[in-house]
Amino acid sequence: MRHSNPTARINFMKRHVLIAPVLAGLAISAGSVRALAEDADSRPAISLAEALPAVAQAMTLAQATPGASAMTTPAPASGNPARTLTLEQAHSIALKNHPGIAAADYRALAAGEVYKQARSGLLPQVGLYGSVVQAQSADTRIMAGGLNNPSVFNRAAFGAGISQLITDFGRTWNLAQSTKLHASAESQNAQTTREQVLLEVDRSFFAVLQAQGVENVARQTVQTRQLLLDRVSILAANKLKSDLDVSFARVALENGNLLLQSAQNGFDSALASLSAVLGYQQQQHFNLIEAAPAPIGFENDVTPYIDKALRDRPELASFRDEQDAANRLARSLRDARLPTVSAVIAAGDAPSHDVRLPDSYSAGGIQVSVPLFAGGFYQARQREAELRAKAAGESLRTLEDQVARDVRIAWLNLNNARDRLRTTQQLSRYAANAYELAEARYKAGTSSIVELSQAQLELTSAQIGETTARYDVLIQESALNYETGGMMNATARAGSSD
C-alpha cells in the first residue's frame, strides 16, 4: 500500500533532523533502491521520483526548526542552582564538616587531658583545710577506728598543706610518658581519619565525574539512535526500507534509553555519596570542575613507595606510639614496687581553740613509702603490661606487612588502570572507525541494520569503557597516594598551587 497523502508524510518527517545520510542513501542507482525497498512483507517500492520530493520537503522543515539537532540538558529537579565545586574545595569542606574527623579530634584532645592528669603527680599538691570541732567534754577520746591520735579538742582552725614528690624512681614519669605517647597515637589516628576521608572524597568526586561521563555517552547514544530511527522511518514510509529495519532501530533506541536510565541512577547515587562524605545529610547539587590532582611520580619499582609508606603512614606511627606507650607503662608498673619519697609541709591558724592548743601551727617532713607485700599484685600487673607491649610490637609488624601488601596492590592497580586507559582509547578509535564504515555500508545498502546496530553497540561500549578507565586512573592515583601516606601532603600542595 502506497502513502498517497504527501501532507501526512511531511508532518511525519517534520521532526527528523539527519537528512544528509538520507540523501547519501538516495544517491545510489534506482535499481539498488528498489532492491533495498523489498522486505519480508514484499511490499512494492515507490519510485525514486516519488520519494525525492517528500524527502526534500522534510529537509526544508528540519532546517527551518531552530536547534533541532542540539542536545538539551534537562534542568535539575530541584529549584536550587548547582554549586560549582573543585576537588580542593571538596577537600576543604570535608575536613570542616565530616563528623568522623571531629570525633577523632575530640578523642585526641581527650587523650591529651589524660597526659595532664598523669603529669600532675610530678607537680606540687596544695590543699586548703578548715575544721570546726566541738567535743563532748575535755576528756573526749576516739576509742575505735584508725590508729591515730584519739584526743579531740574544741577548736575552729584553718590551714594549708603542701606535698611534693621527691622521687618514686621513675614510676610517675614513665606513667606520664606512656599517656603522652598514647595521646600522640590518638593524634596519628585523627590524621588517619583525615586521610581516609580525603580518599573517600576523591573516590566520590571522580565517581560523580565518571557517572556524568557515562551519562553523557548514554545521552549521545540515545540521540544517535533516535536519529537513526527517524531516518529509517522516513525511508520505510517511502518504501525505501523495510519495517524490519524500523523494528531493529526501535529496539536499539529502547536499549539506549535503558542505558541512559541506568546512567542517570548511577550519577544520582554517586552525587549522594559525595554529599554524604562532605558532611551533608541532604543531597547537594554540584557542578563539578574537573581539575585532576598532580599525578604522582611513576616508578618502575614499587620499593620506593613501600619505603615511603612505612615512613609516612599515620597508622604505623600510631602503632609505634602505642608500642612505646605500652613499654613505658610496663616500666612504670615495675617501678611501682620501689620506694616513694615525698616532702610534706602543713601550716595554719586557730582563731578559737581549747586552751591546751596553740594559736597557730606549722610542720614539715619527709615521707617515705615502701611497698613490701601485696599478694603478688605488683608483679602480676608488671608482667601483664610487658606482655601487652610485646603484643603491640607484633601488631606493628602485622600492620607493616599489610601496608607493604596494600601499597603493592595499589601500585599494580594503578599500572593496570593506565594500561586499560591506553587500550580503551585505542578501542574507542577503532570502534568509531568501524561505526563509520558500518554506517556508510548501511547507507549504501550493502549491509543490514543488524550490522549497524552491532557497530553502535560496540562504539557505545568502547566510549563507556574509555570514560570509566579515565577516571579509574585518577581514583587509583588517589589510592596510591593514600597507601603511601601522602593524601594530606597532596592536598596541601594543591592548595598552595591555587
Which among 471, 476, 488 is positioned nearest to 197, based on CA atoms?
488
Is the CB of residue 277 less than 8 Å from the CB of residue 94? yes
Is pLDDT above 50 for 290?
A: yes
pLDDT tens digits, 302-317? 999 999 999 999 999 9
pLDDT value of residue 449: 86
> Once rounded to an integer, what is the mean pLDDT over residues 154-182?
94
N residues, the chain: 498
* Domain 84-123+172-336+376-498 grouped into CATH 1.20.1600.10: yes
Is the CB of residue 490 less than 8 Å from the CB of residue 199? no
Please give the Cα distance from 424 to 214 (Å, whole number): 14
Which among 57, 51, 3 is positioned nearest to 27, based on CA atoms?
51
Given pLDDT bands bounded at 50, 70 and 90, which one contains residue 149? confident
Is the CB of residue 241 less than 8 Å from the CB of residue 32? no
HEC letters along 256-302 = HHHHHHHHHHHHHHHHHHHHHHCCCCCCCCEEECCCCCCCCCCCCCC
Higher pLDDT, 10 or 210: 210
* CA distances to 28, 46, 54, 249, 380 from 32, in Å: 6, 13, 19, 21, 100
Grid cell locating 369:
613509702
Which among 442, 376, 436, 449 is positioned nearest to 24, based on CA atoms?
442
One-letter identity of residue 91: H
pLDDT value of residue 8: 38
Given pLDDT bands bounded at 50, 70 and 90, which one contains residue 496? low
Is pLDDT above 70 for 168?
A: yes
Q: Provide the edge-to-edge strand list for the sheet that holds 125-133.
A: 125-133, 155-167, 340-353, 360-369
Question: Rounded to a whole number, what is the largest CA-CA distance in the chain?
Answer: 140
What one-character-per-residue DSSP string does 104-143 give? HHHHHHHHHHHHHHHHGGGS-EEEEEEEEE--SSTT-B--
The two beta strands, 360-369 and 340-353, are antiparallel
User: 86-90, 138-142, 233-237, 252-256 — which is least confidently predicted?
Assistant: 138-142
Residue 407: partners with Cβ closer than 8 Å, 6 or more residues away: 302, 305, 306, 309, 480, 483, 484
Given pLDDT bands bounded at 50, 70 and 90, which one contains residue 142? confident
pLDDT value of residue 67: 33
Helices 377-444 and 314-335: crossing angle, nearest 10°? Answer: 170
Q: In which residue are the cell numbers 605517647 written?
A: 181
Domain range annotation of the chain: 1-70, 84-123+172-336+376-498, 124-167+339-370
Please give the Cα distance from 432 to 434 (Å, whole number): 5
Please give the Cα distance from 134 to 354 (Å, whole number): 10
Grid cell locating 127:
590543699
Given pLDDT bands bounded at 50, 70 and 90, which one contains residue 48? very low
Is pLDDT above 60 for 119?
A: yes
pLDDT value of residue 75: 46
> Once rounded to an integer, what is the mean pLDDT over residues 331-348?
93
Please give the Cα distance from 51 to 299 (Å, whole number): 64
The 10 Å CB-count burial string (b at 16+, else e) for 126-139 is: eeeeeeeeeeeeee
Please give the Cα distance from 56 to 62 (Å, whole number): 10
pLDDT tens digits, 4-25? 443 333 333 333 333 333 333 3
Secondary structure element (H or E) that encloses residue 183, with its range: helix 171-237
> Once rounded to an integer, what is the mean pLDDT over residues 130-144?
82
> Once rounded to an integer, what is the mean pLDDT over residues 265-285?
93
Grid cell locating 267:
550519577
Please give the Cα distance from 118 to 177 (Å, whole number): 8
The DSSP secondary-structure symbol of 76 reads P
The per-residue pLDDT of the chain, averaged, comes to 82
pLDDT tens digits, 353-365? 888 888 898 999 9
> Once rounded to an integer, what is the mean pLDDT over residues 51-71?
37
Please give the Cα distance from 394 to 190 (Å, whole number): 23
Please give the Cα distance from 253 to 235 (Å, whole number): 17
Percent of the chain whose pLDDT exceeds 90? 62
Q: In which residue are the cell numbers 593524601 written?
A: 487
Residue 65: partners with Cβ closer than 8 Å, 6 or more residues away: 14, 15, 17
Please give the Cα distance from 7 to 121 (Å, whole number): 100
Higher pLDDT, 407 or 235: 407
Please give the Cα distance from 407 to 71 (Å, whole number): 44
User: 65-69, 232-236, 277-281, 449-453 — which is least confidently predicted?
Assistant: 65-69
Is the CB of residue 299 less than 8 Å from the CB of residue 288? no
